[in-house]
Amino acid sequence: MFSVIGSVSTQEETVQLQRTLSFMRENDDDKGLMSTRSFEHCIEQVVRFHFPNDRNFHYTHWNARCHTIEPLWVHASVLEFIRSFEGSMRGIILVSGIRETLSSGRRWTARKEREYKELRSHIEDLVIRNARPDQDLSVLFF
C-alpha cells in the first residue's frame, strides 16, 4: 500500500517507484537484517535512478523501524523532515517500516490495520498542513 500527496511524479512513475522500493523491502530477510546504512544506500540509488535528470532532487526517508512511532515523536519527526525541504520547491518524503514496527513480529490484526491507517493519515495531514502552498511535496509509504 502506498499513498501520495502532491505531484512530484506522474501516477505511473510513482507506482513504479513504490513497487521498486517494496521489492527491495520484501527481499530483505524476515528479520530485517539489512543494515540501516545499506537500506538507505539502496533507497538513494532507487531515487537517483527514478529521477535521473534531477541529480539534486530532494528527498528524505523516515524508517519507522529506527524511530519510535509514538504520536508526539512521529509529529516531531515529520515536522523536522518538512523543515528540511525549506529551500526546495519539490521533493518526496519516503516512509517505511510502519507495518513492521506495529506488528512487532506478531500476527497482523484488524486493530493493527486501523492503527496503521490512522498513523498514515496523521503523517499525510501533517505534510498537507505544514508544507508551504508553493511546494510540491509527495509522501510515499512502502
- The pLDDT score that the predictor gives to residue 6 is 47
Q: How far is CA 14 from the centre of its chain?
A: 12
- The pLDDT score that the predictor gives to residue 31 is 57
- The pLDDT score that the predictor gives to residue 79 is 94
Segments making up each domain of the chain, as ranges: 11-141
Distance CA 135, CA 7 (A): 10
pTM of the model: 0.77
Amino acid at 71: P
Query: 13, 8, 9, 17: which is closest to 89 by C-alpha?
Result: 8
Cell matching residue 118: 490512522
Give pLDDT tens digits along the chain (142 positions): 344 444 445 667 667 777 777 777 676 655 555 677 787 888 888 888 777 787 778 899 998 888 888 889 999 999 999 999 988 888 889 998 898 899 887 899 999 999 999 999 999 999 999 999 999 888 989 8
**Neighbour count for residue 10 (Cβ, 10 Å):** 9
Cell matching residue 116: 496503521
Do 139 and 127 form a contact (C-beta atoms < 8 A)?
yes
Cell matching residue 112: 493493527
